Amino acid sequence: MKPSFPAAILFSALAAGAAAQGTPQIPATVEAPVMASCPECGVVRSVKRKESTSPITAEERKSTAGFVASVPLGGGKPTVGSSSDVRNELKPPVVTYEIVVRLDNGNFQVVTQSDAEDLREGDKVRVDRGKVVRRNPG
């Protein structure tokens, strides 16, 4: 069978009408909404307590060191040493906390600070001016 001439005209008219109206364009890519970025945010991976002796100050270096003898009352072995040794024994250790944070971008950051504010592994935190602080909820 041969297509008829009126059917060809009808088909052409329908195609031209569809082209004139325009077909809705579908975007090739759909962009995901941009999330607020926080490059200093992350999760606590570990908290370690570290103790160290405090360094000798310039004033302590200038002070005179003397000989000290300790004789226990009631018997026992006497001990001898210098006054600087006794002074160092009286100093409390310096306590710091080493906190390892895995940042949201995948990097790790190690922060040493004087307190840990009850930080635990898995806490969501932010590194603010060299100190680890909990993130505000929300």
Distance CA 82, CA 88 (A): 10
Confidence of residue 102 (pLDDT cuts 50, 70, 90): very high
Distance CA 59, CA 33 (A): 60
Residues 103 and 84 in one domain: no
Model pLDDT, residue 32? 46
Residues 104 and 131 in one domain: yes
Residues 107 and 137 in one domain: yes
Residues 131 and 70 in one domain: no
Interval 32-80: pLDDT, tens: 444 457 899 999 999 999 998 776 677 766 666 667 777 778 778 877 7
Cβ atoms 49, 120 nearer than 8 A: no
Residues 70 and 87 in one domain: yes
